[in-house]
Chain A
Amino acid sequence: MEETEKDRNIRILHSGVFTPLRRWATKWSLWPCHFLTSCCGVELAHTGACGYDMERLGTLNMGISRQANFIMVEGTITRKMARALRIVWEQMPDPKFVNVIGACGQRGGIFWNSYNITRPSDIVPVDFFIPGCPITPEGLLRGVRAVQEKIEGRDNTTIRFKHVELPPEEGEQNRAPTTPKIFAPTPLVRVDVPRDVDWAFGNDLVKNLKAQLNGLYTSITITDKNRIAIKTTPENLVETSRKLSDTMGVDHVKSVNVIDVPHERKFMVEYMVSGYTEELMPVILTIFTEIGREAEPEISSLTSLWESANYSERELHDFFGVKFKGNEGMKGKFLLAPDTPDTPLRRDYKLEEEQYTIEEGVPLTSAITPPHYTPPSSSPSYSESELEDLKMPAYEDVLKEAEKNDEFVAFIGPHHSGSGHLRWVMRMKGDIIKEVIPDPGYVHRSMEKIAENRLYIQNVPLTERPNISDPINMNLGYVRAIENALGIEVPERAKYIRTIMAELSRIGAFFYDMGIFPLFMGHSTGFMYSFAIREMVLELMVRMTGSRCTPSFIIPGGIRRDISDDVLDRTRKFTSAIHKRLKKYENIFVYNPVLISRMKEVGVLTREEAIRCGIVGPFLRASGVEYDVRKAEPYEVYDKLDWEATTGDAGDCLGRIFGRLEEMKQSVEIVRQAVDAVQEMPRGGVISEEILGDYKEASGDIRGYLYNVYGDLVLPKGEWTSVTEAARGTVLYSIISDGESNVPYRVRIITPCWMNLRGIIEASKGERVADFWTVYASFGYFPPEADR
């Protein structure tokens, strides 16, 4: 039998005179190169931090593949990342081992039918799988133990598959409770369904708009409070937008969207724009137009007007093949890998459906084709042609230009000890950065396409996966869009609890970013302290919801179950206990003179630049724009509590960090006040009666009733947009429903990190090379969130 790649590594350990010594040494010195591929990496960071301390086992995280001998594949491997994984694995010296952690790494997990994922076991030989979504740190440590045992020669922890015959009838009985999906055959898709709302300013605004845009628009409709849809023609799109920008003070794009309507042979292209003037802040104007669904649809780009639309347009070009004339990035692929299916978000690209009954000859899980490289058959070296497919785009023109200008180009990432999982092409002259070109999409898991194929309620877990370091806020946005569409009023107690959880989640995300930031500065103590505090937040999360990072606790109409008093007590205590540790953290890291000198006046974005790049959240506020969704368009109970939005005007890294620190302290305040308020309230009633309908008994605890209550949610026709202030900025969900199907027609998710990407690029221009990491980390960039 031919020796597999996996066996080779074990054989190396078992040959030669020094076998026992070899095995012993390798066992105690497994250095993982941190291949942080997606959200499971958050838990890996916890395993390395002081709570679990992976170093106890001699497992020292090492960023450099040549010196490591162990890969922990953290979750999803996308097609783009698959190449990187293979390359990194090849770079490592023998003997080497691979652990795959997370459900995604095995059969795709929650993304099993995505168009962009692969299975790590197709790419590299895997020694051990650790299940979970995400895995717990305990599980991760057990995985290390399992590999150690395997090295010793004991292989009793590997799962062996057993084949059983399941008779079809029995399968039918054991069927998971579900609701069949209803797809309307010829849905009526409209984004400007009028709605009667009590909104005086809106009526004035519409009048004003009609006067300004005379002759340019087809119709102007109020679709909801603070939402106005402006229909125009493709020819007039640029002119309309210019008018809006010049006369109304509309200065940024919140989202760009394309909707494919094949049966009407058209694409709808919409821009959601707004302005940072006091009146316009909460308002979102949707400018949309329709273009024919030809072979090469075209529309003029608005990038020249609003730079913040740039990356979103490029992304949509990948998704739909719609060409935005005037945007320079329309040549190649941006987010997707070369071998991802073309234009995957068009309706005629169908995803696999799940099967609940077992049928003869139909496999339970679909086959996913790995990228087309051929692993070396018998010889350990590649031929040139085999290598060709492993290569990543090399940006030939950039290289040429750089050579002409006497610049140095470095390709950083996607596997780099300080890059996160995306690639940067950095052009530098001496120690000064000329330009950084981003190459994102290494964690693009096709969230939007999958969401189109699942019931509304099934999308709740999905929407928190982009950012499991801030899950509640991600959920909240999606759920609020649904509640708004259905016109459901959430019970008071649930609102308070949601606020508490959202703020805890914000605190957690802050400490995540502020733990990664010290690492980029080479300051491991800051990382440890920060994660120690984050561990406290997660502890509260576990007690409230039962899950560390992915609770899926917030559902349309309320929360899944009530929170007990002792947990509330604990939360209250947390708000005072955190200060002591925070003080220590601040002393060692935030106020460290070296750090301050590194951050001060570095990566400055002025107010204008910040708005132009379209950055959001605390980073925008650090540049002096007083925009906080919680203040501008209050949701939950933020308007009933006493707190302040933090703004600064320096716009440098120091300002961004201090702003977030201040904001986090405000969050602790909010939690304290909200807990006090909840403790006064009677228990129970955390789900709205309106949504429960006949299932009143479920009101105390939704478990068991979930599918009965939520299986058949159908949203009214139209577009439902919600903006939420997540930890790193505004997250925008825009759900388009046709009013008939019980799955959304299209879901558009714009995450804060995606918007901030442009800011990072802009802020690092002209800085010194080492500053790039300061800037990058000061934005708290979290690639899975950006790539969605």
Chain B
Amino acid sequence: MMEMIDTLMETVMSNQVSIPLIEPMLDVLPEIPMLQYMVAFMLWKPLFAILICPGLTVGGLTLLFFPWIERKLCGRAQWRVGPHEIVWWLGGVIQLLADTLRFLFQEVIVHKDAHRPYFLQFPFLSFTIFLLPLLFIPAGTIVAIQTPYAIQIILALVCLFPLFILGLGWASNSRFAYIGTVREAFMYFAYEIPFIIAAIAMIILYGTSDPLLMASRQSIPGIILNPVAALVFFIGAAMATGRMPFEIADSDQELCAGPHVEYSGIAFGLIYVLCYEKAYILSALMTILFLGGGSGPVIAGLGDLSGVLWFVVKTYLVLTTLFMLRAVYPRYRLDQGLKLGWSPMLCLALIGLAISLVVVAVRVI
């Protein structure tokens, strides 16, 4: 028994997040029983990744505050202030908390025509599935599951997303949801292929698909090495998350938000944040592939956390850009979106692939 704990502790201790700044505190800890173990566990990299960053804490905070940031920024761009009165001295920062709680306490309506079990399952199911890719995304050097096939796995999981949206729409059994779902399915095929090719181009470029190695190989960030692939990836992300010029499937004014027109209460609350969740993951992926992950000048004292910090900053940068598209662009039509996906983007993605090959060839020679 003791042996087992010892081996466990050994594994845990060998893979700790090192933060010089709090080291003195940690030195005091052994005197307090149990707490020492708890802290050790908390700082165990895989657990840290799941619980803190990029996992639940940062992810949760993103979902809670990013919509506020988006609404505030859009407000600024639109000559107004956005949410404000709720705690006016903080600029209404907890607006989303109020919205979430309101959804939580509101009635959930399941209409007569809906397929009841699926109608209720899908929002919750998709919420959890959408979190899975976070297991493979490293924040700096901290990652929950390290595998050499991480990027492929993330991509595979990301490709699962639209299936759940289709499920939502199907279970709703409403005319608008139906049209929205069909549009979603169409768009899915339009962006998925260029999107994956762009990611593959980067895997070829770095010669690995392990995110940690990728970060270390980006002495020059990927976005400079292969801007074309970066562009394709970014547009693909905008399409995948249904951001503005491509908000085609759930266009509010045409289809009353398409697949989730029938959802209310907390079920809608979950769907509402799904898109932010998706955007968070894709931005994180973009950070890894093109912006060097958590690399950046090391901030003394923070140790491993410095990587985490850089990672979060970069991810937010991508996220903000993605969301600010809303302030600039109106919406494309379905056929225009499809055309864009199938011709210019596919071509660009192939060009990106070619660039990667050339770079690799030059490097070899």
Restricting to A118-156, which residues have a CB under 8 Å from any CB of B?
none
Contact A56 B83, beta carbon cutoff 8 Å: yes
Q: Which residues of B contact A172 (CB under 8 A)?
A: none
**Quick check: is B50 within 8 A (CB to CB) of the other chain?**
no
Question: Do A523 and B98 contact each other (CB < 8 Å), given the known contacts A93-B264, A94-B106, A528-B79?
Answer: no
Give B81 Cβ to nearest chain A Cβ, in Å.
Answer: 6
Question: Do A770 and B108 contact each other (CB < 8 Å), given the known contacts A66-B261, A66-B262?
Answer: no
Contact A529 B78, beta carbon cutoff 8 Å: yes
Contact A63 B253, beta carbon cutoff 8 Å: yes
Contact B268 A768, beta carbon cutoff 8 Å: no
**Quick check: is B329 within 8 A (CB to CB) of the other chain?**
yes
From B35-43, B153-161, B331-339, the one touching the partner chain is: B331-339
| Complex Cα–Cα for A252 and B327 (A) | 43
Q: Which residues of B contact A25 (CB under 8 A)?
A: 97-102, 104-105
Give B159 Cβ to nearest chain A Cβ, in Å.
Answer: 24
Q: Chain A: which residue is nearest B262 at the CB level?
A: A66
From B92, B265, B332, A598 is in contact (CB under 8 Å) with B332
| Complex Cα–Cα for A520 and B254 (A) | 8
From A290-298, A555-563, A588-596, A728-736, the one touching the partner chain is: A588-596
Question: Do A525 and B254 contact each other (CB < 8 Å), given the known contacts A66-B268, A93-B106?
Answer: no
**Quick check: is B351 within 8 A (CB to CB) of the other chain?**
no
Sample (22) of A-B pairs whose CB atoms are under 8 Å apart: A27-B98, A49-B80, A50-B79, A56-B82, A57-B84, A63-B252, A66-B109, A66-B262, A66-B263, A67-B268, A93-B107, A93-B109, A410-B179, A416-B256, A520-B253, A521-B331, A522-B252, A522-B330, A523-B330, A525-B77, A525-B328, A529-B78
Q: Chain A: which residue is nearest B338 at the CB level?
A: A431
| Complex Cα–Cα for A773 and B330 (A) | 13
Give B103 Cβ to nearest chain A Cβ, in Å.
Answer: 8
Restricting to B88-121, which residues have a CB under 8 Å from any CB of A?
92, 95, 97-102, 104-109
Q: Which residues of B contact A588 (CB under 8 A)?
A: 328
Restricting to B207-249, which residues have a CB under 8 Å from any CB of A?
244-245, 247-248
Instruction: Give residues in A with beta carbon < 8 Å to B.
Output: 18, 21-22, 24-29, 49-50, 53, 55-58, 63-64, 66-67, 69, 91-95, 408, 410-411, 416-418, 431, 518-526, 528-529, 532, 588-589, 592, 594-595, 597-598, 768-773
Q: CB-defined interface of B286-315 with A at 8 Å, one 1/0 digit per residue?
A: 000000000000000000000000000000
| Complex Cα–Cα for A49 and B331 (A) | 20
Restricting to B109-139, which residues have a CB under 8 Å from any CB of A?
109
| Complex Cα–Cα for A589 and B330 (A) | 8
Q: Chain B: which residue is nearest A410 at the CB level?
A: B175
Q: Which residues of B contact A773 (CB under 8 A)?
A: 253-254
Contact B98 A29, beta carbon cutoff 8 Å: yes
Q: Which residues of B contact A93 (CB under 8 A)?
A: 106-109, 264-265
| Complex Cα–Cα for A94 and B264 (A) | 10
**Quick check: is B344 within 8 A (CB to CB) of the other chain?**
no
From A26, A28, A417, B256 is in contact (CB under 8 Å) with A417
**Quick check: is B44 within 8 A (CB to CB) of the other chain?**
no
Q: CB-defined interface of B162-191 with A at 8 Å, one 1/0 digit per residue?
A: 000000000000011001000000000000
Contact B106 A53, beta carbon cutoff 8 Å: no
**Quick check: is B85 within 8 A (CB to CB) of the other chain?**
yes
Q: Which residues of A contact B146 (CB under 8 A)?
A: none
Contact B80 A770, beta carbon cutoff 8 Å: no
Known pairs A69-B102, A416-B256; list 6 more (Cβ under 8 Å): A21-B101, A56-B85, A64-B256, A64-B261, A588-B328, A769-B254
Contact B80 A53, beta carbon cutoff 8 Å: yes
**Quick check: is B347 within 8 A (CB to CB) of the other chain?**
no
Q: Which residues of B contact A770 (CB under 8 A)?
A: 248, 251, 254, 331, 333-334
| Complex Cα–Cα for A521 and B333 (A) | 10
Q: Which residues of A contact B86 (CB under 8 A)?
A: 28, 58
**Quick check: is B275 within 8 A (CB to CB) of the other chain?**
no
Contact A768 B105, beta carbon cutoff 8 Å: no
Q: How many A-B residue pairs have CB under 8 A?
A: 172
Q: Which residues of B contact A49 (CB under 8 A)?
A: 80
From A66, A431, A594, B335 is in contact (CB under 8 Å) with A431
**Quick check: is B74 within 8 A (CB to CB) of the other chain?**
yes
Give A24 Cβ to nearest chain B Cβ, in Å.
Answer: 7
**Quick check: is B30 within 8 A (CB to CB) of the other chain?**
no
Q: Which residues of A contact B74 (CB under 8 A)?
A: 524-525
Contact A592 B329, beta carbon cutoff 8 Å: yes
Q: Chain A: which residue is nearest B332 at the CB level?
A: A594
Contact A26 B330, beta carbon cutoff 8 Å: no
Q: Which residues of A contact B85 (CB under 8 A)?
A: 28, 56-58
From A22, A24, A64, A598, B257 is in contact (CB under 8 Å) with A64
Contact B327 A525, beta carbon cutoff 8 Å: yes
Give B325 Cβ to nearest chain A Cβ, in Å.
Answer: 10
Give B65 Cβ to nearest chain A Cβ, in Å.
Answer: 15
Contact B331 A29, beta carbon cutoff 8 Å: no
Q: Chain B: which residue is nearest A67 at the CB level?
A: B268
Q: Which residues of B contact A56 (CB under 8 A)?
A: 81-85, 92
Give B272 Cβ to nearest chain A Cβ, in Å.
Answer: 8
Q: Chain A: which residue is nearest B248 at the CB level?
A: A770
Q: Chain A: which residue is nearest B257 at the CB level?
A: A64
From B100, B101, B264, A66 is in contact (CB under 8 Å) with B264
| Complex Cα–Cα for A27 and B98 (A) | 8
Contact B330 A18, beta carbon cutoff 8 Å: no
Question: Do A526 and B251 contact each other (CB < 8 Å), given the known contacts A29-B102, A58-B86?
Answer: no
Give A422 Cβ to nearest chain B Cβ, in Å.
Answer: 15
Most-contacted residue by chain B among A56, A94, A528, A532 (CB, 10 A): A56
Contact B105 A22, beta carbon cutoff 8 Å: yes
| Complex Cα–Cα for A523 and B247 (A) | 11
Question: Do A53 and B75 contact each other (CB < 8 Å), given the known contacts A29-B99, A29-B102?
Answer: yes
Contact B257 A95, beta carbon cutoff 8 Å: no
Which 6 pairs of residues, A with B, have the shortest CB-CB distance?
A: A418-B253, A25-B101, A521-B330, A93-B107, A523-B330, A528-B78
| Complex Cα–Cα for A102 and B257 (A) | 29
Q: Which residues of B contact A592 (CB under 8 A)?
A: 328-330
Contact A595 B334, beta carbon cutoff 8 Å: no
| Complex Cα–Cα for A408 and B178 (A) | 10
Contact B179 A769, beta carbon cutoff 8 Å: yes
Q: Which residues of A contact B333 (CB under 8 A)?
A: 598, 768, 770-771
| Complex Cα–Cα for A783 and B288 (A) | 51
Question: Do A522 and B328 contact each other (CB < 8 Å), given the known contacts A58-B98, A93-B109?
Answer: no
Q: Which residues of B contact A24 (CB under 8 A)?
A: 98, 101
Give A168 Cβ to nearest chain B Cβ, in Å.
Answer: 49
Q: Chain B: which residue is nearest A21 at the CB level?
A: B101
Contact A58 B256, beta carbon cutoff 8 Å: no
Question: Do A55 and B71 contact each other (CB < 8 Å), given the known contacts A24-B98, A67-B268, A529-B79?
Answer: yes
From B78, B95, B244, B247, A58 is in contact (CB under 8 Å) with B95
Question: Do A594 and B331 contact each other (CB < 8 Å), given the known contacts A519-B253, A770-B254?
Answer: yes
Q: Which residues of A contact B109 (CB under 8 A)?
A: 66, 91, 93
Q: Chain B: which residue is nearest A90 at the CB level?
A: B109
Q: Which residues of A contact B100 (CB under 8 A)?
A: 25
Q: Chain A: which residue is nearest B98 at the CB level?
A: A28
Q: Which residues of B contact A431 (CB under 8 A)?
A: 334-335
| Complex Cα–Cα for A25 and B75 (A) | 22
Q: Chain B: which residue is nearest A57 at the CB level?
A: B85
Q: Which residues of B contact A94 (CB under 8 A)?
A: 106-107
Contact A524 B326, beta carbon cutoff 8 Å: yes
Give B156 Cβ to nearest chain A Cβ, in Å.
Answer: 30
Q: Chain A: which residue is nearest B329 at the CB level?
A: A594
From B83, B253, B326, A55 is in contact (CB under 8 Å) with B83
Contact B253 A417, beta carbon cutoff 8 Å: yes
Q: Which residues of B contact A529 (CB under 8 A)?
A: 78-79
Contact B106 A95, beta carbon cutoff 8 Å: yes
| Complex Cα–Cα for A589 and B101 (A) | 36
Question: Do A55 and B75 contact each other (CB < 8 Å), given the known contacts A28-B86, A594-B329?
Answer: yes
| Complex Cα–Cα for A588 and B74 (A) | 13
Give A783 Cβ to nearest chain B Cβ, in Å.
Answer: 16
Contact B253 A768, beta carbon cutoff 8 Å: no
Q: Which residues of A contact B107 (CB under 8 A)?
A: 93-94
